[in-house]
């Protein structure tokens, strides 16, 4: 097979003052027709820059400074901007991570797909409409007639991504570049989209350059894999060769960091319950006047769960399943409507605002986004000491304790005088953890604490969490959408769907022998299942 | 990236800063260059500028030195601008912060009050306040502050609305922080930059409002403000136009300087908003 897109020693220079001189250094890649090449790497590895360099959509100040980008034998680095426009869309098309921001919110889906034909062809209006319909059917969007007339916000995330794919495939491009197209989607939707891309690619013989950070996705879809680190391709080969027998140390480290899906042998957990969630419900009402025409959403519906002392209770589910709402009910960021939350003999749900302020000592929360959860205007030490100061520890003592906590979570105690933006994502999450642990809570509620982190950093934070759990005897409620992560850290797991717990029990039972159809669907959707299990067998 | 470095990258911002320093210099040197009372009679009335070396900018219709009034007026204008801005921004931030943070009924009531102020043309309200409470320099400054807070209240409220559900605020709440420290220590520092930028607009408006009052001879006649001088020049506007024009240019330069500095602050505080 002759490659259709070749990157030959491509280098991309970053502006002065960036953390390294080149975003890409001497990157050599090639994709042939009918082939899926996965470019995999952690954030900052230059994998998205590769896509941008090919499309010549580099951000300001970033320039191509060496190498050739050959598309059908022609060097794209040398062509004019006008010729480049002809290549984009018609020759090489692209789909993006977040279809909501990549689509124009003010125009209908049909209009936006039709625009591709208006720009690149001189088809008549009616012909364009027919082609749009055919495309929407091809990407198997439910009710394609209505979808063409819909605005982006009226479709679900998966449907929007299907529309994006329809747009990208409109002109039968030779090459499709997919930049993390399933990262923003739920696992079941992700499985459908991956299958769609695979299917379309087989039928049309498109060459696909698939950018991802997720080795599960790689195992699911790739023919060949290129692993990038700090702007360089460190390893390249067929999917079997790279995943089963990685040669480069970095690839080995990355693959080892992917949590295997199989749960470790169960730990002994005490029978004593520390936190009991008893028939908790929370409903949201929107719109309507005096109760008429209201839309009622049952965010959390009659949930009852028990967290044993020293145990970890995982709550898994897709977006909108109510798992985050439940977590926020536990710490009373949201007031539950009915039900009680018993924490060592007190019902948190019935406490007044003032009583709850005192009770925060016993239940603390770690948040998802390490960038949004730390106030950018306070120093790191201040953030950690804050809780102690509020609960009556003198300032000097609280700051001293913050230093101890910094070393507990594996940070340099001298760093308490730095501001949050001076830390990396993983380090920030450690600060968040130190802040939650400062009050020595009995229960820690962790809301997706590792989903925003790279896989190797994620492994470190999970290890830290397991270590702290053992050392401090913490009981943890662990919210996650990632079943692999849940399998690694949780003793018990509850699967939520549309606000209800559909299945709960010890993790080995639920994942090993799922009873509910939804649990089975979730488990079946995890990309690269075989890959994870193989790892577990090896280990 | 250094804030100062970002600021100095934009030429208009630097020009604005130079002009502002010039006006500040005039205010600072007024007592030393023109030690006498600027409102005292100094010579023959209506001397044209640049004709008599003793009165570089000429004299007004009562024979008072225009240059002395301009220099002393810089003090008054800056003082009124600064104090009125502080008053208006303080009121605005407090009302906006409480409305945005608590929402619900608090928000509804506070915002209706704000709207009540906004629907009245603020110059009209200013006239009423001055008519009722008299026109000493203190009441004029206070009145200007009181009529110009609604916009900064709305701005602060909007910032609070978007910040109050951020994770770091929720984190503060789960730590057991009180509302007051959530509002003033957690949210406010993050909400402040646009309000500070807007304060420059308030300051420019405050200076203009005072001149407008003075033009109608409703400001404090016992101080040498630029507006008073324009008001005096109104009687001889058709022939000796310079009496009004010179303080007019002074006001123009000051307002321009304050606006340019405000724009520069805005660009430096939000470097990403400016086209690369």
Q: Considering CB atoms only, which of B167, B172, B190 is closest to A377?
A: B190
On chain B, the residues whose CB falls within 8 A of the CB of A365 are 170-171, 174
Q: If you measure CA to CA, which chain A residue comes closest to B168?
A: A373
B12 pLDDT higher than 80 = yes
Alpha carbon separation from B65 to B28, B41, B237 (Å, rounded): 18, 8, 17
What own/partner pairs with CB < 8 Å and gap ≥ 24 does B118-121 have?
Answer: B118/B150, B118/B151
Are B176 and A369 a contacting pair at CB < 8 A? no
Count the Cβ atoms, other than its own, within 10 Å of residue A444. Answer: 23
Tokens 């390249």, located at residue: A236
- B72 and B224 in contact (C-beta within 8 Å)? yes
Looking at CA atoms only, how far is residue A222 from chain B in angstroms?
Answer: 37
Testing the interface with B: which of A377, A391, A392, A439 to mutate, by most B Cβ within 10 A?
Answer: A377
Q: Output the tens digit of pLDDT for each of chain A's 539 residues.
A: 688 999 989 998 888 777 788 888 889 999 999 899 999 988 888 888 898 899 888 887 888 888 889 998 888 888 888 888 888 888 899 988 877 788 898 999 999 999 889 888 888 999 999 999 999 988 888 888 888 998 988 888 888 888 998 998 888 899 999 998 888 788 888 888 898 889 888 888 899 999 998 888 898 899 999 999 888 999 999 988 888 888 899 998 888 888 887 777 878 777 888 999 999 999 887 765 665 666 778 889 999 999 998 899 999 988 878 888 999 999 999 889 899 999 988 899 888 888 898 888 899 999 988 888 899 888 899 999 999 998 888 999 999 999 999 988 888 888 888 888 888 888 899 999 999 999 889 999 999 888 888 888 888 888 888 888 888 888 999 999 888 889 888 999 999 998 899 999 999 889 888 999 999 998 888 887 766 544 443 43
Triad B2, B7, B10: Cα angle to 5°: 135
* Residue pLDDT, tens place only, B94-116: 999 999 999 889 999 999 999 99
Are A386 and B178 a contacting pair at CB < 8 A? no
Testing the interface with B: which of A368, A386, A441, A445 to mutate, by most B Cβ within 10 A?
Answer: A386
Rounded CA-CA distance B254/B208 in Å is 10
Torsion of CA B69, B73, B76, B78, to 10 degrees: -160
* Residue among B63, B85, B78 at smallest CA distance from B223: B78
Q: If you measure CA to CA, which chain A residue comes closest to B276?
A: A60
Rounded CA-CA distance A508/A486 in Å is 11
How is the beta sheet containing A224-229 ordered, strand by strand? A92-95, A175-179, A207-212, A36-40, A224-229, A232-238
Are A377 and B276 a contacting pair at CB < 8 A? no
Residues constituting chain A: 539
Give pLDDT, residue B154.
94
CB pairs under 8 A between A and B: 58
Give pLDDT, residue A400.
92
Are A360 and B175 a contacting pair at CB < 8 A? yes
Domain A311-334+358-538: top CATH class: alpha beta
Looking at CA atoms only, how far is residue B167 from chain A in angstroms?
Answer: 4
Q: If you measure CA to CA, which chain B residue comes closest to A334?
A: B170
CB contact set of B143 (below 8 Å; sequence gap of 6+): B126, B129, B130, B133
Q: Would you tell me which residues 360-379 of chain A have a C-beta closer than 8 angstroms to some C-beta of chain B? A: 360-361, 364-365, 367-369, 372-377
Are B174 and A365 a contacting pair at CB < 8 A? yes
Q: If you measure CA to CA, which chain B residue comes closest to A367?
A: B167
Q: Considering CB atoms only, which of B170, B177, B189 is closest to A333?
A: B170
B143 pLDDT higher than 90 = yes
Testing the interface with A: which of B3, B171, B178, B186 to mutate, by most A Cβ within 10 A?
Answer: B171
- A428 and A421 in contact (C-beta within 8 Å)? no
**How do the domains of chain A map onto residue ranges?**
311-334+358-538
Give pLDDT, residue A342.
92
Q: Find residue A460's DSSP bridge partners.
A: none
Looking at CA atoms only, how far is residue A277 from chain B in angstroms?
Answer: 18
Q: Considering CB atoms only, which of A60, A360, A391 is closest to B174?
A: A360
Rounded CA-CA distance A515/A419 in Å is 48
Q: If you measure CA to CA, which chain B residue comes closest to A383?
A: B172
On chain B, the residues whose CB falls within 8 A of the CB of A436 are 174
Chain B touched by A391 (CB under 8 Å): yes
Testing the interface with A: which of B2, B167, B274 to mutate, by most A Cβ within 10 A?
Answer: B167
Q: If you measure CA to CA, which chain B residue comes closest to A441?
A: B175
* Residue pLDDT, tens place only, A369-424: 888 889 988 889 999 999 999 888 899 999 999 999 998 888 888 888 888 888 88
Chain B touched by A330 (CB under 8 Å): no
- Terminal Cα distance for chain A, rounded: 37
B55 pLDDT higher than 50 = yes
Rounded CA-CA distance B58/B66 in Å is 6
Q: At what angle do helices A380-390 and A425-437 cross, to 10 degrees?
A: 20
Torsion of CA A297, A300, A302, A308, to 10 degrees: 180
Are A360 and B172 a contacting pair at CB < 8 A? no
Residues of chain B whose beta carbon is less than 8 angstroms from a beta carbon of chain A are 166-168, 170-178, 181, 186, 189-190, 276
Q: Tell which CATH architecture fits domain B76-269.
A: Orthogonal Bundle (1.10)
């Amino acid at each position: 097979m002759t490659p259709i897109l070749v990157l030959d020693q491509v280098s991309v220079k970053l502006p002065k003052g960036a953390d390294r001189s080149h975003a890409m250094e001497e990157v050599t890649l090639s994709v042939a027709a009918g082939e899926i090449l996965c470019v995999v790497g952690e954030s900052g590895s230059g994998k998205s820059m590769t896509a941008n360099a090919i499309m010549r959509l580099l951000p300001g100040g970033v320039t191509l400074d060496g190498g050739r980008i050959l598309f059908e034998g022609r060097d794209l680095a040398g062509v004019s901007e006008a010729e480049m426009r002809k290549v984009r869309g018609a020759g090489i098309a692209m789909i993006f991570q977040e279809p909501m921001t990549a689509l124009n919110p003010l125009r209908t889906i049909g209009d936006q797909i039709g625009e591709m034909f208006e720009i690149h062809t001189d088809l008549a209006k009616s012909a364009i409409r027919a082609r749009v319909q055919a495309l929407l059917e091809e990407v198997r969007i439910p009710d394609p007639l209505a979808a063409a007339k819909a605005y982006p916000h009226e479709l679900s995330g998966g449907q929007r991504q299907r529309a994006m794919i329809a747009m990208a495939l409109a002109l039968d491009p030779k090459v499709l570049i997919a930049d993390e197209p399933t990262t923003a989607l739920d696992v079941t939707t992700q499985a459908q989209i991956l299958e769609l891309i695979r299917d379309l690619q087989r039928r049309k013989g498109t060459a696909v350059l698939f950018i991802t950070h997720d080795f599960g996705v790689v195992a699911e879809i790739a023919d060949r894999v290129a692993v990038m680190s700090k702007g360089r391709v460190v390893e390249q080969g067929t999917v079997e060769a790279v995943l089963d027998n990685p040669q480069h140390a970095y690839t080995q480290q990355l693959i080892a960091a992917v949590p295997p899906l199989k749960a470790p042998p169960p730990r002994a957990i005490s029978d004593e319950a520390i936190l009991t969630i008893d028939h908790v419900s929370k409903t949201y009402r929107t719109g309507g006047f005096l109760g008429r025409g209201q839309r009622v959403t049952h965010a959390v519906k009659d949930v009852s769960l028990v967290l044993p002392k020293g145990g970890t209770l995982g709550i898994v589910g897709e977006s909108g399943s109510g798992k985050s709402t439940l977590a926020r009910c536990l710490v009373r960021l949201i007031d539950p409507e009915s039900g009680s939350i018993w924490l060592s003999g007190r019902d948190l749900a019935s406490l007044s605002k003032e009583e709850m302020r005192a009770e925060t000592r016993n239940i603390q929360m770690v948040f998802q986004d390490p960038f949004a959860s730390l106030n950018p205007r306070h120093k790191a030490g201040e953030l950690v000491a804050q809780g102690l100061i509020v609960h009556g520890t003198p300032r000097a003592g609280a700051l001293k304790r913050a230093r101890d906590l910094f070393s507990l979570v594996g940070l340099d105690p001298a760093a308490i005088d730095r501001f949050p933006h001076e830390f990396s994502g993983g380090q920030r999450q450690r600060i968040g953890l130190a802040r939650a642990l400062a009050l020595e809570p009995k229960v820690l509620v962790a809301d997706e604490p590792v989903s925003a982190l790279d896989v190797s950093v994620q492994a470190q934070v999970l290890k830290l969490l397991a270590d702290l759990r053992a050392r401090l005897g913490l009981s943890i409620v662990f919210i996650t959408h990632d079943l692999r992560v849940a399998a690694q850290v949780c003793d018990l797991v509850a699967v939520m769907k549309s606000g209800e717990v559909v299945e709960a029990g010890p993790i080995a039972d639920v994942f090993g022998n799922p009873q509910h159809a939804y649990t089975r669907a979730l488990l079946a959707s995890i990309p690269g299942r075989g890959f994870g299990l193989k790892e577990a067998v090896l280990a | 990236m250094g804030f100062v470095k970002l600021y100095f990258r934009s030429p208009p911002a630097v020009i604005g800063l130079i002009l502002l320093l010039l006006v500040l210099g005039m205010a600072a040197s007024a007592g030393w260059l023109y030690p006498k009372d600027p409102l005292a009679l100094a010579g023959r009335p209506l001397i044209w500028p640049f004709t008599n070396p003793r009165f570089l900018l000429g004299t007004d219709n009562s024979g008072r030195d225009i240059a002395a009034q301009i220099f002393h007026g810089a003090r008054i204008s800056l003082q009124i601008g600064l104090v009125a801005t502080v008053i208006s921004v303080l009121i605005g931030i407090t009302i906006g912060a409480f409305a945005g943070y608590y929402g619900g009924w608090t928000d509804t009531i506070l915002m209706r009050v704000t709207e009540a102020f906004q629907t009245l043309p603020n110059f009209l309200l200013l006239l009423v306040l001055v008519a009722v409470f008299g026109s000493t320099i203190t009441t004029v400054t206070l009145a200007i502050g009181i009529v110009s807070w609604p916009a900064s209240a709305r701005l602060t409220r909007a910032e609070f609305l978007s910040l109050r559900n951020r994770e770091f605020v929720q984190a503060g709440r789960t730590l057991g922080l009180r509302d007051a420290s959530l509002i003033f220590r957690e949210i406010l520092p993050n909400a402040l930059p646009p309000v500070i930028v807007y304060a420059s607009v308030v300051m420019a408006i405050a200076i203009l409002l005072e001149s407008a009052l003075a033009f109608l001879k409703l400001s404090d006649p016992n101080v040498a403000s630029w507006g008073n001088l324009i008001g005096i020049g109104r009687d001889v506007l058709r022939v000796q136009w310079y009496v009004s024009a010179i303080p007019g240019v002074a006001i123009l330069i000051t307002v321009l300087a304050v606006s340019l500095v405000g724009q520069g602050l805005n660009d430096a505080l939000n470097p990403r908003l400016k086209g690369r």
